[in-house]
Amino acid sequence: MLVNGEQQNTVAIMDRGFQYGDGLFETIEIHANQPIFLEQHLQRLNTDSQRLYLPQLDLDLLRVEIKKICQNVGNAVLKIIITRGSGGRGYRQPDNIQPTRILSLHPFPEYPQSYYIDGIVVRICKTRLGLNPILAGMKHLNRLEQVMARAEWNNAEIQEGIMLDFNGRVIEGTMTNLFYAKNDELFTASLNLCGIAGIIRGWVFEKLSVIEHDFFTEDLLNADEIFVCNSVIGIWAIRELENKRYAVGEITKKLQLALNSEKQKQVAYAV
């Protein structure tokens, strides 16, 4: 782990990331030593930093550190955390913000091939997402809603939980974004009021025309295909939701293939 460029595995208790969750994170797939969608992750980090009134990030410094830490790791997960740094007790930001920058490497999780090929089983979570336009979309460090939702089940047969918002709209998975197709149209939730705007979600928007709209559990039960995605798992079809079964659909398969090529391309053309 690198903390502000130094090898270290602890952080100050007075760091506002610890005191208040006052910061952001990114989770990046490293494939054959190469961070996938690196620029998209850095751009999101940059945009969200501005939304949190953090000082301008030094993206070049981050690129250098990421390159260094990823040498010879093969396949892994890189997590970047940026916090508002240390500050006195109290919510008020310090006058002079010295952000904390943490890079950590983690083993790439070995998911069964069946998750990709046959899809996964999901459930609907009771824990709802609160609505807050000021924080919506950001991958910030306030993640108790996801922790509480993930704590609802302990059955290893279930790979993901779907979260609704306070008003009952379907938003996303605990760790993924969610899309569904109906009559050859692709839909996902708008993230103006809650949810995390994932990098793979953004990539799907570039590949296909997607309709952002409000939808409910019933729409999912009537869908032709459903998939979830994130930067580590890629794309998984949903094969079962609340006892309803789905085939892995053509749109899902097409996107899985395209995502694989995109990854291979990024590895092949890496500088």
Q: Is 156 in the site for a copy of itself (CB under 8 A)?
A: no
Instruction: Give the per-residue contact string, 9-28, with a copy of itself (x = CB under 8 A; - = no).
Output: xxxxxxxxxxxxxx--x-x-
Q: Is 155 in the site for a copy of itself (CB under 8 A)?
A: no
Give catalytic residues, as residue numbers.
27, 139, 172
Q: Give, for 244, the enclosing helix (H) or strand (E).
A: strand 244-245
Interface residue with a copy of itself among 64, 74, 98, 106 (CB under 8 A) is: 106
Q: Which is nearer to a copy of itself, 163 or 255 (CB)?
A: 163
Q: Which residues in 168-187 contact a copy of itself (CB under 8 A)?
A: 174-175
Residue tagged 């009559």 (tokens): 183
Q: Which residues in 75-94 contact a copy of itself (CB under 8 A)?
A: 77, 79, 81, 84, 88-93
DSSP string, 187-231: EE---SSSSB--HHHHHHHHHS-EEE----HHHHHT-SEEEEEET
Q: Is 141 in the site for a copy of itself (CB under 8 A)?
A: yes
Q: Which is nearer to a copy of itself, 2 or 251 (CB)?
A: 2
Q: Which residues in 237-256 contact a copy of itself (CB under 8 A)?
A: none
Q: What is the Cα–Cα distance from 201 to 35, expressed in whole angstroms?
A: 17
The β-bridge partners of 103 are 2, 80
Q: For the chain, give the number of residues.
A: 271
Q: Is 55 in the site for a copy of itself (CB under 8 A)?
A: no
184: left (phi over 0), alpha (psi -120 to 50) or beta: left
Q: How far is CA 46 from CA 9, 26, 200, 213, in A?
A: 24, 11, 17, 27
Q: Is 127 in the site for a copy of itself (CB under 8 A)?
A: yes
Q: What is the Cα–Cα distance from 74 to 234, expressed in whole angstroms?
A: 17
Question: At closest approach, how far in Å is the CB of 14 from a copy of itself?
Answer: 7
> Where along the sequence are the contacts to a copy of itself (CB under 8 A)?
1, 3, 8-22, 25, 27, 52-53, 77, 79, 81, 84, 88-93, 102, 104, 106, 127-135, 140-151, 166, 174-175, 194
